[in-house]
């Protein structure tokens, strides 16, 4: 969760789960309390002059996703962290086989990450109400339409879909 998401919300973009940042912060706190690992993924364009470079204001981390000192951060340059970071090796080296996924954006990085993770044999769980989605105005597609189709595809073959209340109840 980087500030570009907050900028979209502040600009009034059509979205789903604008309260996802609060849910993400609560889930991270619950996972930490339960002794579970919290792993962070950031996105950055490798070009330092790009507005999508990690050093730009839009790519700064939202407060809900700030990492603690001992939590790993993977900076990806592709839609999925499996393609451009050492995250897969980290997960395997640490015996992590299940990933609980939150963040943004449903139809893009969440979708790609979950599908690739599933293809690599990881158990993927998507926390529906802790994932943001946005519209595609140039294509006349609403945030709700994109989100619902994305989640349906992920649920059909790649991930378990659950809400944050169920995750907290299970921990």
- Which tens digit of pLDDT belongs to each residue from 77-132? 999 999 999 999 999 999 999 999 999 999 999 999 999 999 999 999 999 999 99
Residue with tokens 């950031």: 42
CATH fold of the domain at 3-170: Rossmann fold (3.40.50)
Distances (CA, A) of 108 to 30, 51, 113: 26, 18, 9
Express each pLDDT in 46-56 by its tens digit: 888 877 777 77
The model scores a pTM over 0.85 = yes
Structural contact between residues 61 and 42, judged by C-beta atoms closer than 8 angstroms = yes
Percent of the chain with pLDDT over 90: 75
The span from the CA of 169 to the CA of 95, in Å, is 24
48 DSSP assignment: T
Angle at 123 between CA 20 and CA 97, to 5 degrees: 105
Residue with tokens 């994109």: 146
11: left (phi over 0), alpha (psi -120 to 50) or beta: alpha
């Amino acid at each position: 969760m980087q500030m570009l998401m907050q900028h979209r919300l502040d600009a009034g973009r059509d979205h789903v789960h604008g309260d996802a940042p609060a849910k993400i912060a609560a889930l991270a706190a619950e996972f930490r309390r339960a002794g579970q690992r919290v792993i962070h993924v950031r996105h950055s364009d490798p070009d330092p002059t790009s507005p999508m470079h990690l050093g730009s204001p839009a790519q700064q981390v939202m407060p809900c996703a700030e990492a603690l000192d001992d939590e790993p951060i993977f900076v990806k340059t592709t839609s999925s962290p499996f393609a451009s970071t050492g995250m897969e090796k980290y997960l395997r080296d640490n015996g992590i086989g299940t990933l609980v996924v939150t963040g943004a954006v449903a139809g893009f990085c969440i979708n790609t990450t979950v599908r690739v993770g599933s293809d690599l044999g990881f158990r993927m769980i998507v926390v529906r109400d802790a994932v943001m989605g946005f519209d595609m105005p140039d294509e006349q597609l609403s945030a709700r339409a994109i989100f619902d189709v994305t989640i349906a595809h992920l649920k059909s073959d790649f991930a378990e879909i659950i809400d944050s209340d169920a995750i907290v109840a299970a921990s």
